[in-house]
Chains A and B, each alone.
Chain A
Amino acid sequence: MIRRHLPVLITLAVFIVGYLICLAQFPSFASTRVIGNLLTDNAFLGIVAVGMTFVILSGGIDLSVGSVIAFTGVFLAVTIEKYGLNPYLAFVLILGIAALFGSGMGFLIHTFQIPAFIVTLAGMFLARGLCFVLTTDSIPINAPAYGQITDIAFRLPGGGRLTFIAMVMLITFAIGIVLAHFTRFGANVYALGGNRTSAELMGVPVRKTTIRIYMLSSFLAALAGIVFSFYTSAGYSLAATGVELDTIAAVVIGGTLLTGGYGTIIGTLVGVLIQGLIQTYITFEGTLSSWWTKIAIGALLFAFIVLQRGLSAASLRTRSA
């Protein structure tokens, strides 16, 4: 039982140790303000990471999410500001477009048996290119609805705020957990990651599941894009470059095996928070360049991949014993 959850437990331990180190140096880390900001600043990353976890669990990868986030921002800015579309209608539209886009990628991956890497790489260029078709400028979004939504927040004791977008992230994680662990769809995702051929022989609907996985990923990327536009109040074609890689890092640090089949959604949440923690620490430190975030995440990612190799080798040994 403990062995099964070892990767998640290690991730959790890394987070707790990291948090305690931060706390020792900067006592204000205990304040709800810092915690609230940690959640708010990483909301969009967390949302897209939920989708990415499903993709990686199934043995795939989705490189298009960063571009989808940028496209979402640009789409919202252009439709709301230039064409005066109702923001809520724009949200529904972009979520629908993204879902279609994702199911298209899933369809191609399944039907032509093309590696997900290639299909989503094409999707990444496509979505990024479409941003520039809509606009090359950074367009600020000033719609009143934006102000109203960003004002929604729970006041936490101690002056912190649990913002609307942080709540969206937490709800996304809750739904993701239920979806992964308590539905047939979730079991099918794990089955695909375990062994695609066996899954097919056992009657798992491979085609339907693959399409839904990429649909979910793109849908959540668009949701992350909406959240990101609240956060920045703008749409910009060059936004969120490399977010797909941050997301993959968060998922892997969260204990999900890149080869698929093993991992949890809750682990991904902790993975996202670890990244956020490093970033916050560097902000507090003040003297370090923000690129140190990347270096720390790189080192951590490396350590986790080595750890995963070690764990799977160890479990192989115990089985043959």
Chain B
Amino acid sequence: MPAATEQPQLLEIRGLTKGFPGVQALDHVDFTLHAGEIHGLLGENGAGKSTLIKVLTGVFKRDAGTIRLDGQDINARDPADALSLGIGTVYQEVNLLPNLSVAENLFIGRQPHRFGLVRTGEMRRLSEELLTGYGLDIDVANPLSTYSVAVQQIVAIARAVDLSAKVLVLDEPTASLDAHEVETLFKILRDLKSRGIGIVFVTHFLDQVYAVCDRITVLRNGRLVGSRPISQLPRIELVSMMLGRELAAEALHRNQRKAVTGEPLVAFKDYGKRRLLEPFDLAVRAGEVVGLAGLLGSGRTETAKLVFGIERADSGQAFVDGKPVRIATPRDAARLRFGFTPEDRKTEGIVAELSVRENIILALQAQRGWLRLLPRRRQEEIADRFIKLLDIRTPDAEKPIGLLSGGNQQKALLARWLATEPRFLILDEPTRGIDVGAHAEIIRLIERLCEEGLALLVISSELEEIASYSDRVVVLRDRRHVRELSGSEVSADTIMTTIAGH
């Protein structure tokens, strides 16, 4: 889109440098944003994207370099200061106030008032007017928490733009949105672009980059790899810029799909819970990967939670090796040698302050009971074995896991369950929020585990990915298992059309 580059430079970052103890997070990075441009900022985890944004918005102080906005040197003290300078940021976890009304969220600190009293009616009218510009027709008097994440994000964008933002930074805004919501968001971004706002768009989804961005800047290990207009950057080249090696084609290789036969290892009949998930049938054999696909909120995670006993089923029966079993709590599931790596690593999975070793042995130790402590040497053996086996990149097993990158945390979580030698493993979004290189590794790992005779249930939003490793795919819609695809039916296209309901 050559028109964009003719626009004047809006934001100019030169030689930005920021170090943390032991890591050079940013090393002389340049970044230029034009007015009326959507600029994708990409890189693997640990590339320095978040650090760049945090320095820009005043969360971190920079060590060196200049930031110029409209030709003026700026130095934001904190995000509020950055906002007043004209740089608004919208995070993945919306940083608004869920208990206040939509209108108050839009106008807090600058409510229209008279004689010291807020003019609520006027504030609501202005809010409605503002949101209509974003195609949002909602009751602004309701608390923000009554609306979906997508609506909350639009409110956050509307607020940032209305506070005279010239630069809008979106940090992985689409991670928890479904396809339709993403499309709505993109429409808004294009509209803002035509109004001359410069947009920095951080994401992991390559499709979305190509759908909406004009220009892309890639960072790797804190250094600038390059910045190019999207029209001159084929997808394969982008991936290799991000990875620094030519593995893009290999990342999504496709195995010969095998038809696994034999008795199912685990089976669920009419299994369900009222108001959570319609009763479903599901069977997984040893050495088989069953994928769960569907939009956010379609019941994928709910299926996993029922199967693992986190939610208690109120109908149906579970079987292991053909024998009926009771799975009422995660302890029951663990006793049956089930494993589960949850979707939200940060809150449900890792214990950030504990070391890699402690995180890995956690499930095994819990299974033995806390009175029978694993000998320290045995713990170290297990940790070292899995660090090597899964190629977890950490200087040593005693490092707090919170300091590792997302992909390595994910591998450690996997190790936690593998250490218990499970027969049936549930992976909820194993590749969410981790970089492309780690993606490929996790996928290869899934395939290897399956060859070793594990039964796997994998949830993923990435259709290509799920189609590449699953032997069968169960598609969910509106909290129901709507269809099971097997053999040659398993492809991203069929999954998509099934999700869409055609």
Q: How far is the CA of A266 from the CA of B99 in the complex (A)?
A: 18
Question: A191 and B108: CB pair below 8 A?
Answer: yes
User: Chain B, 84-107, contact with A by CB distance < 8 Å: what is the 0/1 string?
Assistant: 100000000001111110001100
A198 to chain B, nearest CB (A): 5
Question: B97 and A202: CB pair below 8 A?
Answer: yes
Q: Looking at the complex, which of B110-118, B322-330, B405-413, B442-450 is the stretch in contact with chain A?
A: B110-118
**Residues of chain B from 419 to 455 with CB closer than 8 A to chain A in the complex:** none
Question: B117 and A203: CB pair below 8 A?
Answer: no
Question: A194 and B80: CB pair below 8 A?
Answer: no
Q: B83 near A: Cβ within 8 Å?
A: yes
Contact of B95 among A182, A187, A197 (CB under 8 A): A197
Q: How far is the CA of A186 from the CA of B100 in the complex (A)?
A: 11
Q: How far is the CA of A199 from the CA of B105 in the complex (A)?
A: 10
Interface size class of B (residues with CB under 8 A): 20 to 34
Question: B117 and A182: CB pair below 8 A?
Answer: yes
In this complex, how many residues of chain A approach chain B with their Cβ under 8 Å: the count is 29
**Residues of chain B from 114 to 166 with CB closer than 8 A to chain A in the complex:** 116-118, 120, 142-143, 145-146, 159
Q: A201 near B: Cβ within 8 Å?
A: yes
Q: How far is the CA of A199 from the CA of B96 in the complex (A)?
A: 7
Question: A188 and B108: CB pair below 8 A?
Answer: yes
B239 to chain A, nearest CB (A): 34
CB-defined contacts of A182 to chain B, threshold 8 Å: 117-118, 120
CB-defined contacts of A205 to chain B, threshold 8 Å: 109
Question: B108 and A187: CB pair below 8 A?
Answer: yes
CB-defined contacts of A317 to chain B, threshold 8 Å: 275
- Shortest Cβ distance from A257 into B: residue: B99
Question: B118 and A183: CB pair below 8 A?
Answer: yes
Q: B229 near A: Cβ within 8 Å?
A: no
Q: B196 near A: Cβ within 8 Å?
A: no
Known: A187-B108, A320-B297. A199 touches B118 (CB 8 A): no
Known: A194-B97, A198-B97. A183 touches B116 (CB 8 A): yes
Known: A183-B117, A191-B108. A261 touches B80 (CB 8 A): no
Could you say which of A187, A195, A199 has the most chain B C-beta atoms within 10 Å of its C-beta? A187
B133 to chain A, nearest CB (A): 20
- Shortest Cβ distance from B59 into A: residue: A201
Question: A187 and B118: CB pair below 8 A?
Answer: yes
Q: How far is the CA of A199 from the CA of B297 in the complex (A)?
A: 29
CB-defined contacts of B109 to chain A, threshold 8 Å: 184, 188, 202-205
- Shortest Cβ distance from B117 into A: residue: A182
Q: B15 near A: Cβ within 8 Å?
A: no
CB-defined contacts of B104 to chain A, threshold 8 Å: 187, 190-191
Q: How far is the CA of A319 from the CA of B146 in the complex (A)?
A: 6
Q: How far is the CA of A193 from the CA of B100 in the complex (A)?
A: 10
CB-defined contacts of A195 to chain B, threshold 8 Å: 95, 97-98
Q: A299 near B: Cβ within 8 Å?
A: no
Q: Which residues of B contact A (CB under 8 A)?
A: 78-80, 83-84, 95-100, 104-105, 108-109, 111, 113, 116-118, 120, 142-143, 145-146, 159, 275, 297
10 tightest A-B contacts by CB?
A261-B99, A194-B97, A194-B99, A203-B80, A198-B95, A182-B117, A201-B79, A203-B109, A191-B97, A201-B95
Q: Which residues of A contact B (CB under 8 A)?
A: 4, 178, 182-184, 186-188, 190-191, 193-195, 197-205, 261-262, 315, 317, 319-321
